[in-house]
Structure 1
Amino acid sequence: MPSDEEQQKRALRAELRERRQLLSDSQRESAAAGIGAQLDALLTAHGARSVSCFLSTTTEPGTHEFVRRAVARGIRVLLPVTRADGLLDWAVADDNDDVSEGLYGLPEPTGEVLGPIAVNDVDLMIIPAAAVDRDGTRLGWGRGYFDKTLGSMEKCPPVYAVIYDSEVLDSLPRELHDQPVDGVVTPTQTIVLSSSRP
């Protein structure tokens, strides 16, 4: 039987998913522009030459333009590729924009696939989330890909979750396997959190 935390998470995910689906096209475009500007500034602030980032779905704050600009600036961008065993492979973004549909209908790159340890070399990780609280607890979408990835890294770089402004919450249910993040990026701000990640 699911724990109280898992039941709370499921209810919250359903509410957040519904809220995202109600956004208009112009709200999504405006959010994507804001996210891009915040992420550009984050790269500069960290002096990042290599980052991992996800390709957003239609309901997530848009990351595609940011990835294009980062590649054009000569930054190495690793994009996640889902695997059936719950781990993530990675592919290096290039300027051809070829995207296919991966597991769960997620947009994924079509280039050469690198193994799970490829992400160990990045200076900064930009990951998806449903919500994040003020302590750095991240609510994902329930498949555990990023929790597994972060939990298995020997030396984890700073990790920032991309969400909408309304998804920065005061507190979230947290389970043992949940990996915290160091900050959040929203369309209007970047917040550094005091995460309890070792």
Structure 2
Amino acid sequence: MIEPPPGQSPKAWIRETALAQRRSLTDRAARSAAIAQRVLPELDHHHQTPLVYVGVRDEVETDSILDHTLHQFGNVVVPYCLPGNELGLFRLEDLGELERGAFGIREPREELRANRLVGPQDISLALIPGVAFDHTGNRIGYGKGYFDRLLMQLPDDCRQIGLAFDCQLFAEIPVETHDIPMHQIITETQTIVCSPAD
């Protein structure tokens, strides 16, 4: 792994480098479309209760994935922010049910949430965002721990797939004991199988 500058932790350096590289991409829409084409067969195969994050800012865009899943199966689970850096899970039936919420992320309208909550234990496949990944499935997020907490609650047989652009892949991500690796990472050019779901 390339050494970070003196005084900067490896994780902080990787996060900063990955974010800068992702911001510099000028064709994120086309790259996101290529990623979606790789993702859709996985969703069709594990369609019982898929979780798809709602892309924001420079992340891999997921609207086409959400739209496909809604048309194919009638609903899809999306996350939204709760106090304490936790995520709630909501069964989405239409993209029009989303509105801008915390951090500018589109989330389900508050008045709809109570009747369509989903428990983490019900998720069969989860598409997870990240800032950086390595080929063994290790992941760095934004540092708030939202998805780290969710990953710890997902069932053992839930297939966890990280979505990223090639520029977000690193040779080695430093890990801590609580970190949970992805089973698979999908980029615009490759599908990396890190480990099978139990």
CA contact (8 A) 2:52 2:127 kept: yes
What's the counterpart of residue 88 of structure 1? 87
- Show the counterpart of 1:113: 113
2:9 equivalent in structure 1: 7
**Rounded Cα–Cα distance in structure 2 between residues aligned with 1:10 and 1:110:** 34
**Structure 2: how far apart are the matches of 1:7 and 1:170?**
16
Q: Cα deviation per residue 1:66-115 (whole Å; 9 max; x = unaligned)? A: 10111000153110011121211011222243432222222222262259
Deviations 1:116-156 (A, max 9, x none): 86232122010101111122111111111111111133535
Q: State the Cα RMSD in Å.
A: 2.4
Partner of 1:20: 22
Q: Is 1:28–1:61's contact at 8 Å kept on the other side of the alignment?
A: yes
Aligned to 2:103: 104
After superposition, the Cα gap between the structure-2 partners of 1:154 and 1:66, relative to the gap in structure 1 and judged at 3 Å, is: closer
Which AA in structure 1 matches 2:96?
D
- Written as runs of structure 1 = structure 2, the 5 A alignment for 1:119-138 is 119-138=120-139
Tell me the percent identity: 25
Partner in structure 1 of residue 39 of structure 2: 39
- Give the unaligned 5+ runs of structure 1: none
* TM-fit CA distance, 1:28: 1.2
Q: Which structure 2 residues correspond to residues 135-174 of structure 1 after superposition, within 5 A?
A: 135-174=136-175
Alpha carbons of structure 1 residues 47 and 176: separation in structure 2 relative to 1, 3 Å: closer
Q: Which runs of 4+ in 1 moved over 3 A?
A: 114-117, 153-156
Q: State the TM-score, normalized to the length of structure 2.
A: 0.85
Question: 1:78, 1:119 within 8 Å by CA — same for their partners in 2?
Answer: no
Whether the aligned pair in 2 keeps the contact of 1:90 and 1:119 (CA below 8 Å) is yes
The TM-score normalised by the length of structure 1 is 0.85
